[in-house]
Structure 1
Amino acid sequence: MSRDSVLGWTLIVLVVISLFLSFTIWSQVPGNFSVLKMAYEDNKVDPTLLVKPEKILVYLGNSFHTILKPTSPFYDKSWSISKELLRAHSNASPELVGKISRDNFMRIKGLEVFFPTPLPANLLKQLFNIESGDFSLLDGKLIDSFILVDDGQLSVYLVDSEKSLYKIGKDSKQNLNSIIKEIEESNPPLYAGLTADVNLKVVGDVYVSLAPYELPMYSLKEEQISEEQIASKFFPDFSITRRIQERDGTVIYTDGQQGLRFYGSGAFEYNMPVPKEAKKAQSFYESFVTAVDFVATHGGWPKDAYLSSYSEIKGASGPAHIFKFKIGVNGFKVVNGDDLISVTVEGNQVKNYYRNQSFSIKQIGILDLMTPVEALNTAVATKNIKAIEDIYPAYIEEQDELKPVWIVETEGMEVIIHSPSE
């Protein structure tokens, strides 16, 4: 081999080594979530799943109604139709009608969709792609529910947390006859409006079932998590990630920029300082979508998770939004359960993510609940309740079990009424 050939091959080898070392150095420099951003951009979650209605009130066109819960046969179909009609036929700027009186809807057919927590009007507008109308009248308003009624034409209303009613659309070519007829023909459980008596004041519209209640009881079991599997969602390259175990059993993963902490309770918490260039202001809707997509790829969304509360923190560089999520059981709330997930979004990035211990459930029996009227009589007799705002079945967590109870809402409080058999 000639001297020139040797020099040529030597140069090629040196270039290859240089490229390899450059790749190694760059691949080990912590990035700004580029890999994770790609991951959750490829795994989009419909954010309306986290605000699915806790109930849908069906106006049957007479003095009785029915209520669809997430386990009811026509819940999914009614929710799908309601979303599409809200999007397609909210074709006018909100017009204040006055305070809602559901008695006015008693003789017409319709659906009222109740959110698990009141939503800012502008969030609702963007979540459901409502493109028509000027929503400025609703700035600062929180929306409890929306109503679709068939009063000779399809009319669309919003109800805010102060019980004000706003009309936002109509369409003479649409109606609800088909879905209401299907629900009626299925012989659903009927509900009637609760009336006041000398011992109890009814605040607003409260509906109670005319049928007895039976609900399952469940045992709770902690779900075992794979620490390494979860950590891999945050740290794609373990070669530059340190694992630190503290004396109290807490385990910390860090790459010097972001940190993930596993607690002995089974919870884990992620923190990531937000760089100055990422602290650009996002709308409430954009922050909500950021939170939803992030959780989807960092632990996932369990069935029955729902948005339970939210808040905004003002800062010099813009607001941060905090979203908290709880988990229900077959659409029923667990009233004494902790938040499952908390996410803080600052700028366009998740700054803090806390996820509580998850549980699996197993049915261990059926509990016959007292009737709603019996529960109210018990509340009046034993809790000295003078007014009622709502009554509904829910679950409480007690001694590693989930037990069904009645919840009576009164003057800003939730009063728990146990079954006599408990």
Structure 2
Amino acid sequence: MIERIKSALLFLLVVASLVQSYLIVFGSPRYEMIRRDEYVQTDLPGTRLAMEELVYPDQIVLHLGQDRHTVLQPGASSIFYKQVWEFVRQRTFDGFRRSPSVTGPLEWDEIRAKNKGIEIRFRAGIPFEVLGSLVRIQGDVDLNSGLIYKIWIYAAEERDEVRVAFFTQGGYALYEASKADINRDDVERLAAFGEYQPAYQYRAQDYYVPAEPLPMVRQRLPIKAYEIEQWKKSLFLDPAGTRTIPDMEGTDMYTDGKRVLRVRETKKWLVYSDPQPVTSKPNVVMENVRAAIGFVNQHGGWNGAYRAVRVPVEPETGRQTFEFVQYVDQYPIVSDQAEPFGTIRMSLQNGTVSAYERSTIYIPEDALRSRSPDLPREQADLPGGKALDERLAAYANKDRITALYPAYKPVIGDNAVDLVPVWAVELADGKTELLE
């Protein structure tokens, strides 16, 4: 009896299996239409960038001798900047020594006026360890030496040699590279690019001003807004499991119980937090740099050209803050707002992102590549020479200026942003203000 029951069950299983196989092969699937207005693309617009596309000098100064200088700004249209920086990146710097024969600012003022050379400037400084991943540094050198603010390559006037110095903050050389595969002809050839560029004059606060008005363009570009559902799908492991916290003073909040996404609609700004306990384990700066870039590549991407304006060394433990600013043409977008358009901020600890902030609106990349003739563009030169000096003299914080550079101030409209040329100043405390 039992054997008969087993045989019957086996027969039923075989039949059921054959029926299922038939349905899979010959059956027609039933599609359920999704309304277009309910469908959200999970991929956020934005490209992936490598570290060398985000960490680069904010200015390159060419010294032509006879107290003549010019300043090259970064950007796709700055051919001379790209050629000089790429040449420096391909050189090898070796034979480092800590006590160069020329160390004081007064001696460097004399070298600046007399010698032809190339001055690579990092306004907020760059960790030596990070610099070592961009430039070929060899030999016995402590990559944990702190921040480097300038690299100065010059043809020594008194003898037929090229000297290379790496500067810390304050105008003192930290290292001199006694061996570099650069000769006098290289320096003179690159410095000669400055003959075709606007003339600049040096100021004692260690910045340069153009002798004549600086040609710039005021322009309007379209903007789009990210969908909040896109961010939820990108930033939360289980978007369906998130809950919405009631609106608090114009801020929409979403959480999965650990991570929090705050969206400030009135200020077009989002803040993502993934709380991590503070540990006593020291940070490795390169680990945090790579983690920061990788996180943005994965969550939102880079809608255009960006530059790292803050890559910290301190604190050795705890959280480190990184900041990236968008560039249009050769100039950064700089705002005096607390939540600035075109800026990405991040906090990391031991390679883990604990905070991620950026604007909820952006300039589409296709609009950056091909400017529409329907959008206005007009010449809007920045003052230079005496006019700029007079404006700086009247500036309340003139004694605290550490850097001066041309920038775009964003004026946000409903569907477009106006980029208005301005002079931006950086103060000793790191704060940025606009000369208007």
Would the TM-score normalized by the shorter structure come out above 0.5?
yes
Change (3 A) 1:50 1:125: same
Secondary structure of 1:135's aligned partner: coil
> Is 1:144 equivalent to 2:168 in the alignment?
no
Q: Specify the alignment match of 1:79 in structure 2.
A: 85
TM-superposed CA distance for 1:133, in Å, is: 2.0
Q: Specify the alignment match of 1:405 in structure 2.
A: 422
- Residues 313-342 of structure 1: CA deviation (Å, up to 9, x unaligned): 869xx5221212333443334252545222
> Is 1:373 equivalent to 2:386 in the alignment?
yes
Gaps of at least 5 residues in structure 2 are 17-42, 369-374
1:204-243 maps to which residues of 2 (within 5 A)? 204-219=205-220, 222-235=223-236, 238=239, 240-243=240-243
Secondary structure of 1:325's aligned partner: strand
Secondary structure of 1:193's aligned partner: strand
Change (3 A) 1:396 1:182: same
Secondary structure of 2:225's aligned partner: coil
Secondary structure of 1:286's aligned partner: helix
Maintained 8 Å contact 1:335/1:394: no
Maintained 8 Å contact 1:270/1:354: yes
Maintained 8 Å contact 2:116/2:187: no
Q: Specify the alignment match of 1:132 in structure 2.
A: 139
Partners of 2:412 and 2:275 in 1: how far apart?
Answer: 39
Aligned equivalent of 2:185, options 168, 177, 202: 177
Partners of 1:51 and 1:383 in 2: how far apart?
Answer: 32
Secondary structure of 1:246's aligned partner: strand
- Residues 232-265 of structure 1: CA deviation (Å, up to 9, x unaligned): 3234655x53353634675555444434343324
Q: Specify the alignment match of 1:30 in structure 2.
A: none
Amino acid at match of 2:86: S
TM-superposed CA distance for 1:372, in Å, is: 2.5
Q: Specify the alignment match of 1:155 in structure 2.
A: 163
Maintained 8 Å contact 1:203/1:389: no
Q: Specify the alignment match of 1:50 in structure 2.
A: 54
TM-superposed CA distance for 1:280, in Å, is: 5.3
TM-superposed CA distance for 1:173, in Å, is: 4.7
Secondary structure of 2:196's aligned partner: coil
Q: CA RMSD in A?
A: 4.1
TM-superposed CA distance for 1:183, in Å, is: 6.2
TM-superposed CA distance for 1:113, in Å, is: 0.9
Change (3 A) 1:364 1:386: same
Maintained 8 Å contact 2:89/2:136: no
TM-score by length of 1: 0.72
Amino acid at match of 2:270: F
Aligned equivalent of 1:351, options 351, 354, 363: 354
Maintained 8 Å contact 1:145/1:159: yes
Amino acid at match of 1:307: A
- Residues 118-169 of structure 1: CA deviation (Å, up to 9, x unaligned): 1233443455463422327x73x43211122244344321111111023432
TM-superposed CA distance for 1:364, in Å, is: 3.3
TM-superposed CA distance for 1:373, in Å, is: 1.5
> Is 1:111 equivalent to 2:118 in the alignment?
yes
Change (3 A) 1:146 1:218: same
Q: How many residues align?
A: 375
Partners of 2:425 and 2:258 in 1: how far apart?
Answer: 48
Partners of 2:206 and 2:280 in 1: how far apart?
Answer: 44
TM-superposed CA distance for 1:104, in Å, is: 1.0
Change (3 A) 1:320 1:65: same
Q: Specify the alignment match of 1:98 in structure 2.
A: 103
Q: Specify the alignment match of 1:263 in structure 2.
A: 264
Amino acid at match of 1:344: S
Amino acid at match of 1:142: L
Q: Specify the alignment match of 1:307 in structure 2.
A: 308
Maintained 8 Å contact 2:409/2:422: yes
Maintained 8 Å contact 2:57/2:121: yes
Maintained 8 Å contact 2:247/2:253: no
Gaps of at least 5 residues in structure 1 are 14-38, 195-201
Q: Specify the alignment match of 2:276 in structure 1.
A: 274
Change (3 A) 1:47 1:363: farther
Amino acid at match of 1:380: A
Q: Specify the alignment match of 1:168 in structure 2.
A: 176
TM-superposed CA distance for 1:297, in Å, is: 1.2
TM-score by length of 2: 0.70
Partners of 1:396 and 1:63 in 2: how far apart?
Answer: 32
Partners of 2:314 and 2:353 in 1: how far apart?
Answer: 14
Maintained 8 Å contact 1:393/1:404: yes
The farther-off stretch of 204-213 and 288-297 is: 204-213
Amino acid at match of 2:381: D
Maintained 8 Å contact 1:148/1:155: yes
Change (3 A) 1:90 1:49: farther
- Alignment identity in percent? 22
Q: Specify the alignment match of 1:325 in structure 2.
A: 324
Where relative contact order (Cα < 8 A, 6+ residues apart) is larger, the structure is: 2
- Residues 260-285 of structure 1: CA deviation (Å, up to 9, x unaligned): 34332432222224379x98543122
Maintained 8 Å contact 2:126/2:312: no
Change (3 A) 1:112 1:382: closer
Maintained 8 Å contact 1:394/1:405: yes
